[in-house]
Amino acid sequence: GAGVSQSPSNKVTEKGKDVELRCDPISGHTALYWYRQSLGQGLEFLIYFQGNSAPDKSGLPSDRFSAERTGGSVSTLTIQRTQQEDSAVYLCASSFILSAGGWETQYFGPGTRLLVL
- Considering only residues 75 through 94, tell me which ones interact with another protein, judged by CB under 8 A: 91, 93
Contact 22, 6 (CB under 8 A): yes
- Pick the binder of another protein from 27, 84, 99, 105 (CB under 8 A): 105
Q: How many CB atoms lie within 10 A of CB 58?
A: 8
In whole angstroms, the minimum distance from the beta carbon of 25 to another protein comes to 14
Strands 5-7 and 19-24: antiparallel
- Considering only residues 23 through 52, tell me which ones interact with another protein, judged by CB under 8 A: 31, 33, 35, 41-43, 45, 48, 50
Cα(92)–Cα(29) distance, rounded to whole angstroms? 12
Closest listed residue to residue 23, CA positions, set 57, 47, 55: 47
The answer to the question of residue 114 lying near another protein (CB under 8 A) is no
Residue 52 or 81 having the CB closest to another protein: 52
The answer to the question of residue 8 lying near another protein (CB under 8 A) is no
The answer to the question of residue 99 lying near another protein (CB under 8 A) is no
- Pick the binder of another protein from 55, 62, 83, 85 (CB under 8 A): 55
